Amino acid sequence: MSTITDTLRSNWAVMISGTGSNLSALLDLDPVLSVGLVISDKKNAYGLSRARRRGIPTYHFENNDWDDLQNQLKRYLIDYIFLAGFMKICPENFLKNWSGRIFNVHPSLLPTYPGLKSIERSFNDKAPMGVTIHEVTPAVDKGLILLQRKIVSTDTLESSEFQIHISEHRVVRRVFECYKK
């Protein structure tokens, strides 16, 4: 079992699907977090450019080739994975290799509103809204919850989405600041 100190000395991969704003929040903390590889399932994801500008290797994950992804993670000596807006479900055989070492940021207060459209669903239901960091398991959004943060309710869906994204950045930073101590 790893400790927080082990995690500080570890090499992380961050998996994204888009702009990489959560990735950027993490990179602002370096050297607290050693990002050794940024992975995206979208070839032109802006987050890949963010990583390249910082000299971090990138990998375009395509065709659901989880074996090749596993090989890339080994190649770059990755110890832990953080899903920061990665929009694919990881298969069970991949997750077995990363049990207890793969984490996700999710835009709801799990266990409520797992899966897609979490912000919209919780807003429409007038339910409490927020962000969760959890371990990734084969059951989608069911892993051990590491941290949650509620947001203040807003009047519009757009404003709520904005508040959630700001909170995601803070929670992502907070998790890794805790690892620093």
- Of residues 31, 33, 47, 45, the one with CA closest to residue 79: 33
Contact 107, 164 (CB under 8 A): yes
What lies within 8 Å, CB to CB, of 92 at 6+ separation is: 138
Which residue among the candidates 60, 106, 134, 165 is catalytic per the annotation? 106
Q: Tokens 């949650």: give the residue.
A: 148
Using CB atoms within 10 Å of the CB of residue 66, give its burial: 0 to 12 exposed, 13 to 18 middle, 19+ buried: middle
- Of residues 71, 72, 80, the one with CA closest to residue 6: 80
CA distance 71 to 54: 23
Catalytic, 106? Answer yes
List residues with catalytic annotation.
106
